[in-house]
Structure 1
Amino acid sequence: MAPNLQRLVAVSGYNERVNDVIFVERQISTDPASVVVFFGGDVQDYPENMKSHRDHGAYVEYNLEAVAEILASKFKSSFICVIRPAKVELKTFSCFSNFVTCNDIGSPTHLPNQNALLHLTILLLSVAEQTGHSEVGCESPLIIMGFSKGCVVLNQLLHEFHYFHHLPVDKESHINALSMVRIKKIVWLDGGHSGRKDTWVTSSNVLSSFQSTGIAVDIHVTPYQVNDDRRPWIGKEEKQFHTLLKKLGVVLFRKVHFAEEPPSLDNHFLLLKIFC
């Protein structure tokens, strides 16, 4: 474990919501600071929880603390904040219920506003207070990342951007508008969940509002999600998502990794090490 990695337990967010946050200080302080916020997938948890499960020990190298260190090595001038889900059902299913309405296995129902953006804003302010790094809370630009199930949070943010885009200016919308200004890029890493829809945002209205934010998009996918014959809707939705964004003129990078290989859970996780 990196000496500058901290496990922050029950960090306060919006309206009594709390999340654990794994925080890593930035490695290079000469460059302007940024903050990478990461939401992980099913199975990923603290290493001791993964090792105690009959099957998940095979993927313990992708535990949330290890991923925080991977991100710290990729983004050396960034503070890293890995957000642990509110609940990991059966030590398997990541439920980001503090950000998006979801069922017991974490499959989402997206509402116009679940205060996900406000919760994230307050979480980061709390992290800044606990760590003594004020720039985490209000000054530095944000890069938001989701991997696999964690992408449900990213999708909820897009619905909230749309909601606030059409809301008359008031105190709450002003706070959320300030939060949106900080976000410079959102990165989708092989998004997927157990539901049969809403793996990717396909609403042209929601994506049009997103385009107005000026936020850049990176998409990294593998055959495990987009070429799975048992879940064909995932590939179809992802194609709609990136095609619409491109038509709207969003600054977009997309790459299919392991494109010539069959769908593989091992490659799905390996994406975390190779995506940039």
Structure 2
Amino acid sequence: MLTIRSVAVSLSLFAVAQTMSVAAGPSTESPRCCLSTAAGARPGNSPQLLRLTAVPGYEQHRVNDILLLSPATGTARLGGSGSKAASSENAHVVFFPGDIQNFQQEMALQPEAAQWQSWSLERVALVLGLRFPGHHVWIIRASRMYLHKFSCYQNFVESNLFGAPEHTPDYGAFRHLRALLGHGMERAGLPNPLPPLGSTAVPAPLPPGFSLTVVGFSKGCVVLNQMVYELSRARADPELKLFLDCVSDMYWLDGGHPGGSETWVTDKQALGELATSGVSLHAHVTPYEVRDPMRAWVGREHRSFVQTLEELGACLSHKLHFEDEPASIENHFRVIEVF
């Protein structure tokens, strides 16, 4: 089991955060921060955190800050546990965080967020780096943080002030993610970045060995849900179909948002598209979300999501973590360590 302490050895992430770029402009140069992950690690073998600010998506007004953890040299051919696709120099993981999660430096300045710094974007990146060795880990910061704690993924799904979604079949979540990753790879100087959308009359091939795992935690699951609603139209788009064919796994980690419904996708037509997509699906939950008597619909929707996908023959794994422990926000966050 991965723990926060295991990834924090020999590392002061607050110091790292202070040295990272916080400029809002789309500079093509961002400072790199080398992170020692083990005693005696050779220079050049440690992973690197790189903060990219105001990375554009497929529309000019859709921009997101991104944190990239590049794998340590020499791990690119290792296999990540639980992932269908073998790791390669073009294996990528995208993570959408939940409420309160932000860059370490910014969380330290907010009284309500400071106590949850163990789950800052930087620390989560390191946890995921161990969970998916040899992968590039992309942490997508919500485009808006209302009152410094309510994450809003407006660039991916129509949302209210508190980040509760209103799903539609054509908002452009896949197109935004595809463009965001392409621009991010260019900004980070990675070899073989994704080609720009619409750059040729015939869809340009993707880089050799490109694979993608998508992970949503808590509020971040609204992005995955939006992708499910968009699957039918996205698969009909030749350019996006190439991208979708490279998605190996999707992980829902204890999804939740302040709306009164649609915490989990229950629409059978949308789930039918998901079941036939060939993507390996994973649902990991805790009592904090699915056993809350004040939000009983979350548990009902989760059961419907799992049952429907199983009936449709989807490649699905699911698990309730900490089921014998009292529901707590601490265990809600810990699902990031144990999934």
Smaller-chain TM-score bracket: over 0.9
Alignment pair present for 1:216 and 2:273: no
2:131 aligns with: 74
Which of 221, 224, 244 in structure 2 is aligned with 1:180?
244
Gaps of 5+ in 2: 1-12, 14-32, 35-47, 79-87, 195-205
Alignment pair present for 1:189 and 2:253: yes
1:12 aligns with: 56
- Write the letter of the residue equivalent to 1:30: R
* CA distance in 2 between partners of 1:192 and 1:126 (Å): 29
Question: What is the deviation of 1:134?
Answer: 3.5
Alignment pair present for 1:113 and 2:160: no
1:145 aligns with: 215
What's the RMSD between the two structures over aligned residues?
1.3
- Write the letter of the residue equivalent to 2:215: M
Question: What is the deviation of 1:133?
Answer: 1.7
1:36 aligns with: 93
Question: What is the deviation of 1:30?
Answer: 2.9
Matched-pair contact (CA < 8 Å) for 1:141–1:184: yes
- Write the letter of the residue equivalent to 1:56: A
Matched-pair contact (CA < 8 Å) for 1:35–1:136: no
Alignment pair present for 1:247 and 2:291: no
Which of 43, 49, 65 in structure 1 is aligned with 2:122?
65
1:157 aligns with: 227
* CA distance in 2 between partners of 1:195 and 1:272 (Å): 23
- Write the letter of the residue equivalent to 2:113: H
Between the two proteins, what is the percent identity of the paired residues? 37
Q: What's the secondary structure of 1:55's corresponding residue?
A: helix
Q: Deviations over 1:99-129 (max 9, x none)?
A: 0000000000001111110010011111111
Alignment pair present for 1:134 and 2:191: yes
Q: What's the secondary structure of 1:259's corresponding residue?
A: coil
- Write the letter of the residue equivalent to 1:19: N
TM-score norm. by structure 2 comes to 0.77
* CA distance in 2 between partners of 1:125 and 1:266 (Å): 35
Q: Deviations over 1:43-90 (max 9, x none)?
A: 001112212222221111101111111111111111000000100110
Summarize the Cα distance change of 1:135–1:188 in structure 2 as closer, same or farther, 3 Å threshold.
farther
Residues paired across the two proteins, number: 269
Q: Name the structure with the higher helix share.
A: 1
Which of 257, 280, 291 in structure 2 is aligned with 1:227?
291
TM-score norm. by structure 1 comes to 0.94
* CA distance in 2 between partners of 1:147 and 1:182 (Å): 21
Q: What's the secondary structure of 2:138's corresponding residue?
A: strand
Alignment pair present for 1:202 and 2:246: no
* CA distance in 1 between partners of 2:192 and 2:332 (Å): 33
Matched-pair contact (CA < 8 Å) for 1:220–1:257: yes
Question: What is the deviation of 1:29?
Answer: 2.1
Q: Which has the larger radius of gyration?
A: 2
